[in-house]
Structure 1
């Protein structure tokens, strides 16, 4: 059976888009602080999160089907190799998000202003953005990151604990569903229990993200708007969080098998 099947490439594309969107979500907050319309920025941020979650739900049945179509005599090795490709696509998606970040900061800054002009109407914003004029205008904002973005970043300013927490949470979120599905192959007699554990894992990762990471970025954005902090510091912290997110997707490769084995072990206490 082929390693890079059409189905696997489709799943990898979905995952790539998901992680690109979630990386670009940082651009919305930076843009909101830049134009001092944080509430409108959060509305746009929620739309991006919704699109990301929808894409995630769409790819999950296809990801699960890779287990069902695995050859009986080599199921573990086959599923592992396929899932590592999917984890790799999350890293590639994050890299693409990083490369597009400066472009989307410019685009989102204007989108937030237009959203305010449309009185919060997302359909109205989409309708305006889909016109030929605005599409052409969007291409004029395209530019890649420059090394000058990092010239004011100092090691002393790096929130090490926040950096590590975000990296670990990203790794757990990246492999939550995949490890649960692989655990179902490890313990087929408790397969359903193992698969259902994925919701708990991703739920806990999301809660940890909301408690430990999101409030820090939000406070920094509020400080910029209320002229108590600098936009440069907010941008530096956002860049560091994006870097930790990238490293988290790489760390997910390390967490994948131990996570699956832990889920398989844990299901013994449920069944």
Structure 2
């Protein structure tokens, strides 16, 4: 367990928090449909996405430093073990987000109403959210998923292609930077090219998410507000999306090394 350094633990905690936030972002649309304020909900959703993306960018240099500090002997196995721990942290973070989903649906519902009352002022909303009174209310709202929460879920209502796309996109996004850094070790003569490929990989994953996944969920939320759709169906699909996200982080463990080898091979055509 020599590879489990303090730096790996800190990065893993950071990744855990990022994936928890990104999983809880699914609760925002549910909350918006619940209170009938989808536009205000999207503002809160965009805020969470920006925070998670910024946090992800902040941790990347520290993740890269694990390669620089790796021992000269058995380097590949050492770095692989470290990166697999980090990928595992993304799974744990997603699982925590799923467990906290019912609580945050209730909290986000209140937050969206506050945002609407305060004229869309994010600073005023944050001031309210971090007040002692609101934190106490939030603790009182805490509850975990139970059997009644999962009632009414039907596999027939789940868009299977959307489920698979979300799973694959999550896997790509989870390992994009890690596979690129590992590819730099596989092809040291093209290391800079391999590392810079991570931005392209994450960019493609983000585009796939925006094109294929986000619009579908947004339209379903609009249908609920306009009385053309059922809230329970939106909840079912959202639960399946966070489940596919969880499976995506597990798929990332499988794709990590093949992804790194592909990046290392692809750099031949760039240099």
Tell me the TM-score normalised to structure 2 length.
Answer: 0.99
d(CA) in 1 for partners of 2:197 and 2:250?
22
d(CA) in 2 for partners of 1:128 and 1:91?
31
Q: Which residue of 2 aligns with 1:220?
A: 220
Deviation at 1:150, TM superposition (A): 2.2
Deviation at 1:102, TM superposition (A): 0.4
Identify unmatched segments of 5+ residues in structure 2: none
Q: Which residue of 2 aligns with 1:94?
A: 94
Point out 4+ residue stretches in structure 1 off by more than 4 angstroms. Answer: none
Q: Which residue of 2 aligns with 1:162?
A: 162
Q: Which residue of 1 aligns with 2:36?
A: 36
Q: List aligned pairs for 1:120-131, cutoff 5 A.
A: 120-131=120-131
Q: Deviations over 1:180-220 (max 9, x none)?
A: 00000000100000000000000000000111111110010
Deviation at 1:148, TM superposition (A): 2.0
CA contact (8 A) 2:3 2:82 kept: yes
Identify unmatched segments of 5+ residues in structure 1: none
Q: Which residue of 2 aligns with 1:53?
A: 53
d(CA) in 2 for partners of 1:3 and 1:70?
9
Q: Which residue of 2 aligns with 1:246?
A: 246
Q: Which residue of 1 aligns with 2:74?
A: 74
Q: Which residue of 1 aligns with 2:5?
A: 5
Q: List aligned pairs for 1:112-123, cutoff 5 A.
A: 112-123=112-123
d(CA) in 2 for partners of 1:131 and 1:205?
36
Q: Deviations over 1:118-175 (max 9, x none)?
A: 1011110111122221111111100001122222111222211111111011101100
Q: Deviations over 1:58-95 (max 9, x none)?
A: 11000000000011111100010000000000000000
Q: Which residue of 2 aligns with 1:195?
A: 195
CA-atom RMSD, angstroms?
Answer: 0.9
d(CA) in 1 for partners of 2:156 and 2:28?
26
